[in-house]
Amino acid sequence: MFSGIITDIGTIQSYEKKGNEVTLVIETNLPLETYNKGASIACSGVCLTVNRSDIGHFRVDISAETFKLTNAPEWKEGYQLNLESSLRMGDEISGHMVFGHVDTQAEIISIKDDGSSKRLVLRAPDKYKKFFAIKGSITLNGISLTVNEVNGNTFGVNIIPHTWKHTTLSNRKVGDTLNLEVDMLARYVDRMINANTEENTEKGNNA
């Protein structure tokens, strides 16, 4: 599990495709003990398992499913990734509970100055709009953010200067896509509502 607080920007050193899977070696400044072999690490919001590690870099494999749901097809040598090592018992959750299970991609439709911050408006597939709520949490490319506005399947977030400077968001432009993970709490609430609706419908049909 993660908190959506980016602790390093990694750079892809090597990219090797084998069939439907890709192996990456990623350069990092994270302490070695945070990405030992077998550890989970969020790479721009995607939870990946380290299969080899050394000081300054680690190796991960990317499955075909990850390629389908995320912006991983853009990842090539030299590409930068937001990194966060997994939480340990007792660690502070400064953002919100993030699991690294990307749901879909959201397209940036505008980037505007908002004082010293940036305001991003993004568009997601219609099926995910029910998970957006003003002041609710969202994860974009591994970053825990607060939703400031919602209009159907579009939503806006405010990026403070620190986040803009210390993540890869400053390299993004209109038309780019970001990995989107909806808030797990919103997901379970939706599931409970749908389960109750289905149960009531079934009771009505059996009456």
- Cβ proximity of 46 and 13 under 8 Å: no
pTM of the model: 0.89
| Residue 168 shares a structural domain with residue 114 | yes
CATH code, 111: 2.40.30.20
| Residue 110 shares a structural domain with residue 172 | yes
Question: Does residue 206 belong to any structural domain of this protein?
Answer: no
Split into its structural domains, the chain has a count of 2
| Residue 112 shares a structural domain with residue 67 | no
Q: Distance (Å, rounded) from C-alpha 93 to C-alpha 3?
A: 5
pLDDT at residue 80 greater than cutoff 70: yes
Question: Does residue 1 belong to any structural domain of this protein?
Answer: no
Determine the average pLDDT of the residues in 147-176.
Answer: 96
**Which of residues 28, 52, 85 is at a domain's end?**
85
pLDDT at residue 72 greater than cutoff 70: yes
| pLDDT value of position 29 | 96
Its domain, for residue 59, covers: 8-85
| Residue 59 shares a structural domain with residue 131 | no
E runs forming strands in 28-183: 40-43, 46-54, 57-62, 80-85, 104-114, 117-123, 137-140, 143-151, 154-159, 177-182
| pLDDT value of position 27 | 97
Angle at the Cα of 121 from the Cα atoms of 181 and 107, rounded to 5 degrees = 55
Query: Of 51-55, 70-74, 151-155, 191-195, which range is least confident?
Result: 191-195
Other Cβ atoms less than 10 A from the Cβ of 197: the count is 10
Amino acid letter for position 192: M
| Residue 184 shares a structural domain with residue 116 | yes
| pLDDT value of position 196 | 61
| Residue 18 shares a structural domain with residue 69 | yes
| Residue 80 shares a structural domain with residue 140 | no
pLDDT in tens, 23-42: 999 999 999 999 999 999 99
Joined tokens for residue 113: 């100055």
Q: Distance (Å, rounded) from C-alpha 48 to C-alpha 51?
A: 9
pLDDT in tens, 103-146: 999 999 999 999 999 999 999 999 999 999 999 999 999 999 99
- Cβ proximity of 52 and 37 under 8 Å: yes
Question: Does residue 176 belong to any structural domain of this protein?
Answer: yes
| Residue 80 shares a structural domain with residue 122 | no
Question: Does residue 147 belong to any structural domain of this protein?
Answer: yes
| Residue 143 shares a structural domain with residue 182 | yes
Question: Does residue 198 belong to any structural domain of this protein?
Answer: no
Question: Does residue 184 belong to any structural domain of this protein?
Answer: yes
| pLDDT value of position 89 | 66
| pLDDT value of position 90 | 62
| pLDDT value of position 124 | 97
pLDDT at residue 51 greater than cutoff 90: yes
Angle at the Cα of 189 from the Cα atoms of 195 and 127, rounded to 5 degrees = 85
| Residue 109 shares a structural domain with residue 163 | yes
Question: Does residue 98 belong to any structural domain of this protein?
Answer: no
